[in-house]
Amino acid sequence: MLDSMVTFDGVTRRFPPDVTAVDEVTLRVRPGDRIALQGVSGSGKSSLLALMVGLDRPNAGTIAWPGLEKGPLRPGQIGIAFQSACLLPSLNLAENLALPWLIARYAGDPGRAVAEALDLVGLGEMADRLPSELSGGQALRAGVARALVTRPRLVVADEPTGQLDGETGRALIGALLAWAEANGSALIVATHDAAVAARMDRHWQMSFGRLTEVLAGEVA
């Protein structure tokens, strides 16, 4: 148990009037995990991730982060790439990416970390662009890059390849995996793309809020 990063124990999240988005989920994330989270639309993926990163609270059950330090989870220990890019429209990419660095109160200038993150997702040339000057896919990639700036121990990405063509999507996942490797971080990716899921070590399947782990060898 000591090497658990996040644990869910019988976690349930209901929304009024009668949706149970997450239903008695018990799980464990370990350092270095590469997890794919799959399931049909509306099965509760985003809801689960929101609980995991501390954006939402369960109606029942407990969530713990034994592998992380006490204090704020976001953005220093957990980085999130939202399902939509969620960039601030009045800040350019470099400024948007600097935000987590500043919020986490990291010392020094965020410039290098920001440039590296942008390079990683292939947007190195676009630091000065405003979100409105990006394509949907570019904006999503910027959102992924923003999750990496603070070098968090856990990165959660909600459908990062949703709007990308196959090749760009593959490149992005490759870069994410390489970054996680180099950084020793755990990675959870919600995705509808089997090819993306195939590059992960663990496979979680959601259906009507229930989570099952598909072990290696079984067919998804």
Partner 1 sequence: MKRWIAGLLARRMLALGTAALGIALAVALTATLGLFVLDSAAGMTARAVSKVGPDWQVQQQGADTANAMAALDATIPAHRQAVVDFADISGLTANVGGTVQTTGAGKAVGLDLPAYAAMFPGQIRLMTGSLQGAVIAQQTAANLHAAVGDKVAIQRIGATPVEVTVAGVVELPQADQFFQQVGGMTRTGPSAPPDNVVLLPPDSFAASFGAQLDSAPQIAWRQLHLAIDHTLLPPDPVAALTQSQGLARHFEAQVAGGAVLADNLSARIDGVRQDSLFARVLFLFLGLPGVAVALLLTARITGTGHDRRRAELAILQVRGMRSAALALRMAAEGILVAGMGTAVGLALASTLAKAMGLGFGHLWAWGLAIAVGLGATAVLYGLPLRSDLARPARENLLPAPSVGALGQAWRRMGLDLVFLSIAASVYFETTAQGYHLVTAPEGVPVAAVDYKSYLAPGMLWLGAGLLILRLADWGLERGRGVVAGLLRPVAGRYAPLVAAGIARDRRRIATGILLVALTFSFAVSTSVFNTTYDGQALVDAQLTNGADVTVTGTPDNPAQPVLDKVAATRGIATAQGMMHRYAYVGTDLQDIYGIDPAKIGQVTTLSDAYFQGMTAKAAMAELAAVPDGVFVADETVKDFQLVPGDRINLRLRMAGKADYAVVPFTFAGVVREFPTAPTDSFLVANATYLAKMTGLPLAETVLARANGDPAVAGAAVRAALSGRPDLKVTDLTETARRIGSSLVAVDLRGLTALETGFAGPLMAGALGLVLALGHIERRRSLAVLRALGGGAACIGAFLWSEALVVLGFGLAAGLGLGMVLAGALVKMITQVFDPPPEVLAVPWLLLAGLGLAGALAMVLAVLWALRSPRETLAFALRGGTDG
Determine if 46 is a binding residue for Mg ion (CB under 5 A).
yes
Instruction: Report if residue 15 touches ligand ATP, rule: CB under 6 A.
Output: yes
Binding map of partner 1 across residues 117-156, x = CB under 8 A, - = no contact = -------------xx-------x------x----------
Site string for ligand ATP, 24-43 (x = CB under 6 A): ---------------x-xxx
Closest CA to 220 of 203, 199, 207: 203
Q: Give the residue nearest to Mg ion (CB).
A: 46
Could you say which residues in the range 72-91 bind ligand ATP, by CB under 6 A? 83
Q: Which is nearer to partner 1, 20 or 83 (CB)?
A: 83
Which C-beta is closer to ligand ATP: that of 123 or that of 173? Answer: 173
Euclidean distance between CA atoms 167 and 212, whole angstroms: 29
Stretch that binds partner 1, among 29-37, 79-87, 159-167, 185-193 (CB under 8 A): 79-87
How far is residue 75's CA from residue 166's CA, in Å, rounded to a whole number?
29
Query: What residue 102 binds from ligand ATP, partner 1, Mg ion, none (CB within 5 to 8 A, per partner kind)?
Result: partner 1
CB closer to partner 1 out of 35 and 98: 98
Please say which residue, 103 or 178, places its beta carbon nearer to partner 1. 103
Which x/- pattern, by CB under 8 A, does the window 149-168 give for partner 1? Answer: ---------x----------
* Residue from 29, 38, 44, 204 in contact with ligand ATP (CB under 6 A): 44
* Cβ count near 167 (within 10 Å): 8
Tell me how far CA of residue 183 lies from CA of 40, 148, 187, 188, in angstroms.
Answer: 31, 10, 11, 15
Q: Which residues pair with 130 in a beta bridge?
A: none
CB-CB neighbours of 35 under 10 Å? 20
Q: Does 45 bind ligand ATP (CB under 6 A)?
A: yes
| Binding of partner 1 by 91 (CB under 8 A) | yes
| Residues at the interface with ligand ATP (CB under 6 A) | 15, 19, 21, 39, 41-47, 83
